């Protein structure tokens, strides 16, 4: 099995001998298709019967199947990143509150009798 995909990042993607603006689009394409191609590669490598049934081959790299797989995997990655960010933010807020609690003065807390004492 020959793998036709370039897995390592190379700045000069089109092999022109110099990095140009046309390489930027190839960088974006390389990064976008990476998760879908990786999933196809893993199925080919570790589940050869499933790969044969699904007719997967290295020729499917950067194709329509990889396009849809990559899209789905990028959506999952963004959702997981968002959920992790919210979890860390909540935990961080609670931790900061817990760390500040011992240093608060009693005058900083709300006095329930404040309104009654101010109306004389």
Q: How far is CA 44 from CA 17, 57, 99, in A?
A: 33, 7, 51
At 47 the pLDDT is 95
pLDDT at residue 78 in the model: 97
CA distance 70 to 77: 10
The number of CA neighbours under 13 Å toward the Cβ of 14 is 12
pLDDT at 112: 60
Tokens of 1: 């099995």
Alpha-carbon span 43 to 45, nearest angstrom: 5
Closest among 53, 28, 56 to 42, alpha carbons compared: 56
DSSP states of 34-91: HHHHHHHHHHHHH-HHHHHHTT--GGGTTSHHHHHHHHHHHHHHHHHHHHHHHHHHHH
pLDDT tens for the 120 residues of the chain, in order? 555 777 888 888 888 888 889 889 999 999 999 999 999 999 999 999 999 999 999 989 999 999 999 999 999 999 999 999 999 999 988 888 888 877 776 655 565 665 555 555
């Amino acid at each position: 099995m020959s793998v036709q995909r370039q897995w390592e990042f190379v700045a000069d993607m089109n092999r022109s001998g110099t990095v140009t603006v046309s390489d930027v689009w190839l960088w974006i394409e390389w990064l976008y298709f990476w998760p879908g191609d990786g999933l196809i590669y893993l199925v080919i490598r570790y589940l050869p019967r499933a790969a044969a049934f699904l007719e997967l081959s290295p020729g499917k790299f950067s194709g329509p199947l990889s396009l849809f797989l990559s899209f789905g995997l990028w959506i999952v990655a963004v959702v997981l990143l968002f959920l992790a960010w919210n979890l860390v933010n909540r935990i961080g807020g609670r931790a900061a509150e817990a760390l500040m609690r011992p240093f608060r003065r009693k005058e900083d807390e709300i006095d329930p009798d404040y309104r009654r004492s101010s109306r004389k």
